[in-house]
Amino acid sequence: MSKLVKGLVSNDVKRRLSGVQDAVLADVVGMPSDATYALRKELRDKGIQVMVVKRTLAARATEGTLLRPAFDDLAGSMAVIWGCEDFVSLAKALTSIEASGKFAKFELKGGVMDGERVSATKLKEISKWPNRREQISMLVGQILGPGRKLAGQIKGPGAKLASQVKKISEKDEAAAES
């Protein structure tokens, strides 16, 4: 490939990956075209984008970005996969696809999260973490817990007092009627 073509391809890869901070690398080489189409369709339905690119061109295009460490110590063509709500959701989606065995040649190679290289085994560990929505729901539960407890503590004696007032008023009404 000539320097001009490499430069054009590198610029296109740089353009497509601009703004991407976290990505996963997978090996999809050797997959039949129908399986590749099915994989891309499944990922597209989940809001995940895929780009197969030669490692050296991707490394050249991502020079000076947070994605650059992902391409160290790899060879050949890789699928760069990015998208989803957060990196944990992306890791969950991709590890479930790999574990399903539906795509035999699909193999996770690692990735990059917050500028730090992540191995394939670490990626599988990350997939077990709570994603953004789960973390927000846990946080909201923790925030609301003390308030709920305080409301219960305030309501308890108040409800007891209201019950006693009601009993006294019922006794007064019964005495007034008789």
Task: Kindly report, residue by residue over 89-125, the tens digit of the pLDDT.
Answer: 999 999 999 999 888 888 999 999 988 999 989 999 9
- Residue 28 main-chain phi, psi, to 5 deg: -120, 10
Contact 77, 100 (CB under 8 A): no
pLDDT at 155 over 90: no
Selection from 142, 139, 121 nearest residue 130 by Cα: 139
Class of the CATH-defined domain 3-129 = alpha beta
Residues in contact with 6: Cβ distance below 8 Å, sequence separation at least 6, in sequence order? 57, 60
Share of residues in the chain with pLDDT > 90 (%): 34
What is the rounded CA–CA span in Å between residue 94 and residue 71?
18
User: Which helix (H) or strand (E) is 110 found in, with range?
Assistant: strand 107-113
Mean pLDDT of all residues belonging to the chain: 88
Q: What is the pLDDT of residues 5-63, one digit of tens each?
A: 888 888 898 899 888 889 999 998 889 999 999 999 999 999 999 999 988 888 888 88
**Pairing relationship of beta strands 77-83 and 23-27 according to DSSP bridges:** antiparallel
What is the rounded distance in angstroms from the CA atom of residue 62 to the CA atom of residue 13?
Answer: 8
**% of residues, the chain, pLDDT over 70:** 99
